[in-house]
Amino acid sequence: MKKRMLFFLLTALFIVAIGPVSLADEGMYPISELHKLNLKAKGLEMDLKDLYNPNGVSLMDGICKVGGATGSFVSADGLILTNHHVAYGGVSRASSEEHDYLQNGFLAKDRSGEIQARGYTVRITESYKDVSKQVLKAVKKEMSAAERTKAIEQKIKEIEADAEKKYEGKSAQVSEMFRGKTYVLFIYTTLRDIRLVYVPPRAIGNFGGEEDNWMWPRHTGDFSYLRAYVAPDGSSAGYSEDNVPYHPKSHLKVAPDGVNEGDFVFILGYPGRTYRHQTSHYLEYEETYRMPFVADYYEWQITALEDLGKDDRGIALKLASRIKGLSNTMKNYRGKLQGMRRMHLVEKKRDEERKLQQYIDADNKRREKYGSLLAELNNLYTKSMADFESDMVLSYLPRSSSLLSTASTLYTASLELKKDDMERQSGFMERNWNRTKQGMLRGTGEFYEPSDRLIFEDILLRAARLPADQRLEAVTEIVGDGDPAEAVHLFVDHVYSSSKLADRDALEAALEDPAAWVESSDDPFLKLARELYPVFEARREENRERSGEMDKLYAELLDVKREFMATDFIPDANSTLRFTFGRIKGYSPRDAVYCDPLTTVNGVLEKTTGEEPFDTPQKLQDLIRKKDFGRFAHPELKTVPTAILYDMDTTGGNSGSPVLNARGELVGINFDRAWEATINDYAWSPDYSRSIAVDIRYVLWVTQKFAGAGYLLTEMGVEE
Ligand code: ASP
């Protein structure tokens, strides 16, 4: 009896500590889970089958993945709404000193004026199927952890290749849902001709810049319009003048009247990664080691790259996208670190694990099966913490220089292309090789030697300064007995001055036949790539071993957690289509501070200083002052709302996701989280987890009044 009481008490405590998914609004639900949510009772005012219908057309067909983020179709002619920061790479690639679209914005007067967003693809989820059994069948009891990982990788490649044969013209991808446990095959339509339609100027699209990033209240017009094109026969094709606008199966209806505080809202999108099922050991590794290292490292890179471009707009444009990405991650990590400390996350997790361990130990059978689980995970992470510094340096080294990574890919290709298709690493399989080559060729357009060598020289020097027993032989050879800084500098001088890999034609020729190129080339980056290859192969194998062990342990951990909490979980985000719901809601980030959930254009004026990043265009200021709001003024506020705040569960990758009202109409475009919600990746909090969208009224008002592109409103079916 006593034992039972203890069990119930512990269970109750555990549930209070973590909160089972069904009680809170936490959750990035896979589409397969929607029917369990009783959404009508929560506030949804549409039939579930209109939201998602595997046997017909539904709202979900209007959602797309734009690169690593999200967007939605808003017209029958393939018009896409997403964020300014999602389109940023395409805009900076299309920009030059004469046509500075990043600074001034871009507007196509008609379809013929829409220009290519180079490097962009758009994906639409067509269907999904659980293939866990098929994948796990490949695993045999006697396999080592590394063999297990390899067998799973192999099986996944087979499933994907088979599916692509079966669904011609589609792309297939198997995604791991629960670590080491469940796998889902997704079939996607991939569109490859994406164009810019309207992009507001920087001073609107990135208003507030890095100062306001990850902050509330917000006044950024973080939106852009793109359009997807296909071949005249409707099939997916690369850019061509003959291509025609894509007709999505369904597109979203835009709600020009927006939303209000308290309204039910939901998001469909492609959240990137969360780590909520990871243990305290992982969190400790993140908090104490990885994140502080990366935040400092990126901060150094940002300063160095900004310095390179400070007197030359052409160079600044080349580096803009990279700097933006680095700054975004750096500030996000700083926010997370603060949040982790403030919420005592590691301690909380440890506490949960102690209770779980007590539950495991309370029963002999359970102890036998799961008794050492947490200790084994702890051991694996402790090893990572011990090797942390060399681990970080070595993981950044191969990608620090684009020339080194080009040489490494060519060298790997020379070996992989000789193998049977199914035996190759995924990027070298027939179905992917062309894409790999295109990506490399595109990279030559973005190459800028001074920045490339600066980053390379720094990491090489860090590698040279590692303790002798952790240093790579190739690096020791470069340094010799001399001063590391001097030796590295001379070496970098030599490799950059004699390599041809930055030259597009030379690279194109090498890609024709990588084996022949490797045979005949004396490129210095090839020499280095060749020397590093066995080291990085060995690391890959070690990682396989480690991740195989972890997969197994995490799969068991999930089993026992499920048993203990008598509840089900949802998988961590993994860049697959997810649903989350909540309400338009303010919050109290600090003692005595309360933030409203709606901002307005009045705040744009308040923040405007005339200096970047608060340099609102004069025309926009005039429109606000004249109160020329058209139909987009909020009836009570008498002004145009700019951004909305809500308690939905989002993370990176949800950028550009449509925020939809109870009837499934578009009321905003998600673009950020509040500072305290950077912690979402590890834990969700009803008090702090707030995400941010640009209000649809601001999007439409800027499009109509500022850009003079009323024809886009007409295309979306919005009456002016
Ligand atoms: N602004 C964010 C991003 O960089 C969106 C988010 O993470 O909430 O993806």
Report domain extents, the chain. 22-121+192-273+569-720, 127-179, 278-358, 387-536
Whether the per-residue pLDDT at 265 is higher than 50: the answer is yes
Q: Which is the closest atom of ligand 1 to the Cα of 673?
A: 8
pLDDT at residue 117 greater than cutoff 50? yes
Q: Which residues does ligand 1 sit against, CB inside 6 Å? A: 328, 650-652, 654-655, 671-673
Query: Is 251 one of the catalytic residues?
Result: no
DSSP run (H or E) holding 199: strand 193-199
pLDDT mean over 586-593: 96
Backbone angles phi, psi at 51, to 5 degrees: -85, -50
**C-beta of residue 314 within 8 angstroms of C-beta of residue 96:** yes
- Centre of ligand 1 from the C-alpha of residue 349, in Å: 25
Which residue from 710, 713, 685, 693 is spatially nearest to 82, judged by alpha carbons?
693
- Please state the atom number of ligand 1 nearest to the C-alpha of residue 650: 8
Is residue 222 flagged as an active site residue? yes
pLDDT at 20 over 90: no
**Residue nearest to ligand 1 atom 2, measured at CA:** 672
What is the share, in percent, of the chain residues with pLDDT greater than 70? 97
Best of 673, 690, 692 to mutate for ligand 1, by most ligand atoms within 8 A of CB? 673
Note the pLDDT of residue 665. 98
Q: In 3D, which of 674, 678, 603 has the Cα closest to residue 640?
A: 603
Look at residues 569, 403, 426, 432 and name the one whose alpha carbon lies nearest to residue 501. Answer: 403
Please check whether residue 240 is in contact with residue 712, taking contact to mean a CB–CB distance below 8 angstroms: no
244 membership: H or E segment, kind and range: strand 244-245
pLDDT at 207: 98
Q: List, for residues 686-700, the tens digit of each pLDDT value.
A: 999 999 999 999 999
CA torsion 159-164-167-168 (nearest 10°) is: -170
In contact, 389 and 466? CB cutoff 8 Å: yes
Q: Which of 331, 672, 690 is the best mutation target for the ligand 1 pocket, counting ligand atoms within 8 Å of the beta carbon and taking the most?
A: 672
26 — pLDDT class (breaks 50, 70, 90) = confident
| pLDDT surpassing 70 at residue 248 | yes
568 has pLDDT over 90: no
Nearest residue (by CA) to ligand 1, atom 4, is 652
Which among 61, 193, 212, 222 is annotated as catalytic? 222
Phi-psi region of 274 (alpha: psi -120 to 50; beta: other; left: phi over 0): beta
Residue nearest atom 8 in ligand 1 by C-alpha distance? 672
Look at residue 25 in the predicted model and tell me its pLDDT: 64
Residue nearest to atom 1 of ligand 1 (CA): 672
Give all strands (DSSP E) within 602-649, no chain letters: 641-646
**Torsion, Cα of 707, 708, 714, 717 (10° steps):** 40
pLDDT of res. 386: 87
Asked if the model's pLDDT at residue 369 lies above 60, the reply is: yes
Phi, psi of 406 (to 5 degrees): -65, -45
Q: Which residues contact 296 (CB under 8 A, 6 or more apart)?
A: none
For residue 271, is the peptide bond before it cis, meaning its omega torsion is within 30 degrees of 0?
no
Average pLDDT over residues 219-237: 98
Average pLDDT over residues 430-454: 95
What confidence tens digit (pLDDT) does each residue in 480-501 have?
Answer: 988 999 999 999 999 999 999 9
Q: How far is the CA of 332 from the centre of ligand 1 (A)?
A: 9
**CATH number of the structural domain 22-121+192-273+569-720:** 2.40.10.120
Whether 85 sits among the annotated catalytic residues: the reply is yes
Distance between CA atoms of residues 212 and 198, nearest Å: 23
> Residues 6 or more apart from 122 whose CB is under 8 A from it?
64, 65, 66, 71, 80, 190, 191, 194, 226, 228
Q: Taking the chain, what is the end-to-end CA distance rounded to the nearest angstrom?
A: 71
Q: What is the pLDDT of residues 128-164, one digit of tens each?
A: 999 999 999 999 999 999 999 999 999 999 999 999 9
| Ligand 1 centroid from CA 661, angstroms | 21
Q: Chain-wide mean pLDDT for the chain?
A: 94
Which atom of ligand 1 lies nearest, measured to the CA of 83? 1
Mean pLDDT of the 17-44 span: 76
pLDDT digit string, tens, across residues 72-116: 999 999 999 999 999 999 999 999 999 999 999 999 999 999 999
- What is the rounded distance in angstroms from the CA atom of residue 535 to the CA atom of residue 537? 5
- The active-site residue, picked from 25, 58, 61, 85, is 85
Mean local confidence (pLDDT), 468-491: 94
Q: How far apart are CA 154 and CA 135, in angstroms?
A: 9
Ligand 1 atom 7, closest CA: 652
**In which residue are the tokens 């506030």 written?**
43
Per-residue confidence (pLDDT) for residue 648, from 0 to 100: 97
Q: Which residue has its alpha carbon closest to ligand 1 atom 6?
A: 652
Q: What is the pLDDT of residues 337-363, one digit of tens each?
A: 999 999 999 999 999 999 999 999 999
Nearest CA to 43 out of 266, 256, 257 is that of: 266
Catalytic residue among 405, 451, 547, 655: 655
